[in-house]
Structure 1
Amino acid sequence: MPDTYFLNPSFVFKTPASPHYAAKLEGQSIDPKSLLTAISKERKNNTLIEGAGGVFVPITEDYLTIRGIQESNLGVVVVGSTELGTINHTLLTLEALTSRFIPVFGFYLVGPENPLQEDNATIIQKLGGVSFLGSTNFPEQKLSSEEFKTFALDQFDKNRNVIDVVINVDDES
């Protein structure tokens, strides 16, 4: 998809930490209202917005990502791991979202190929009550940034399940 489908980051930090902590360490502050304003401007543009970590990651010391998702009134595709532990993590995320009446379009698994991933996907779909949209397995060797970009362009969502469900969601209402 062209870059126009992706919302540019409102904040970028060097510190690999939750946004609230990275901002604090780097002398910046995050205003959730400005994030919501940027998101609201994209409402009709079929824009993909990637969160920073899971739904309970703090954006500020008193504002969680899930609150921003809820206040933006947008639907979600949950991205989980192919590995051990993903059933619990993904089902907890789905429960948190659906119990707040946040629409979930489905889930997608990403990670190394392993013997658990097929069962992980089946059980998450069955118990989570949302569609499995596919998976992407990483290559065994570590990739440079450029190699990863090429790999992702070629391998992520090859059947367009994620893209089509997100783009066509407004057409169904």
Structure 2
Amino acid sequence: MQRIFITGIGTGIGKTVVAACVTEALDAAYWKPVQSGLEETTDTQTVASLISRPGACLSEAYRLQLPASPHLAAKAESVAISEDVLLGHAALSQTGPLVIEGAGGLMVPLNDQLFTIDFIQKLNASVIIVSQNYLGSINHSLLTAMALQQARIPVLGWIFNGDAHTNEDDIIRWSRIPRLGRIPQAGNINKEFVKEQAALLRAALPHKKEETA
């Protein structure tokens, strides 16, 4: 099964919208392993409202109240996040591509032993990195790329979110990771917007045919 993990160079840079666009482009299933922070709309609910097949969203393995790092949110509720439970949920989607959205960046801890980058390795997933221009984004982008390359995790490419900037060309050149596309700044993000962006991304994304018996 094709697994694509959406990670970011930090928090709050638009991973959920990118995940919705990639899910739509590949006609994939979507999964957020751990949702921390339940006071507002969850990422799964947001993606379900934006894609053509809302039934393609899998349930989270863990739903935690505190809007914090998963390991801290879990401790606040005396919950133990289990690697086996996470991998078991991932296995529920047996056919077609699965788009997985992480929490924050690569070094976000899921529990006291398991970081997001470790989880990606155990999933045998390829990665799309979401970047956005801000002061310090070159550093954060290249550190993210370096960590993935050192871990020998396959990276499909960058998706930049927001307004264009010449920093993008530098990040691509220095990281030697290709650009897949950019999701532009938009005042109204809805199904039509996601469908349009998915159509633009589709040609750059990998499409694998499932083997038949």
* Shorter-chain TM-score range: 0.7 to 0.9
1:92 matched residue in structure 2:
143
Aligned-pair identity (%): 30
Q: Distance in 2 between matches of 1:45 and 1:107?
A: 22
CA spacing shift, 1:32–1:134, aligned 2, 3 Å: same
Deviation at 1:158, TM superposition (A): 4.7
Kept in 2, the 8 Å contact 1:7–1:49? The answer is no
1:58 to 109, 112, 116: 109
Paired residue for 1:18?
69
- 2:176 maps to 129
Q: Larger RCO: Structure 1 or Structure 2 (Cα < 8 Å, ≥ 6 residues apart)?
A: 2
User: What SS is found at the alignment partner of 1:102?
Assistant: coil
Asked whether the 8 Å contact 2:180–2:204 carries over to 1, the reply is no
Residue 123 and residue 74 in structure 1: after superposition, are their counterparts in 2 closer, same or farther (change >3 A)?
A: same
Q: Which amino acid aligns with 1:130?
A: I
Structure 1 length-normalised TM = 0.78
Alpha-carbon deviation of 1:25?
Answer: 1.2
C-alpha distance in structure 2 between counterparts of 1:65 and 1:23, whole Å? 15
Whether contact under 8 Å (1:20, 1:58) holds in the other structure is yes
Contact 2:181–2:201 at 8 Å: present in 1 too?
Answer: no
TM-score (norm 2): 0.65
1:18-52 deviation line (CA, Å, top 9, x unaligned): 10001111232211121122223436420111001
Residue correspondence of structure 1 range 100-111 to structure 2 within 5 A = 100-111=151-162
Alignment-derived partner of residue 159 in structure 1 = 200
In structure 1, the residue matched to 2:81 is: 30
Cα distance change of structure 1 residues 135 and 64 upon mapping to structure 2, 3 Å threshold:
same
CA distance in 1 between partners of 2:133 and 2:200 (Å): 18
Misfit runs of 4+, over 6 Å: none
Mapped to 1, the partners of 2:108 and 2:192 lie a distance apart of 27
Alignment: residue pair count = 158
Q: Contact (CA 8 Å) 1:20, 1:30: kept in 2 or not?
A: yes
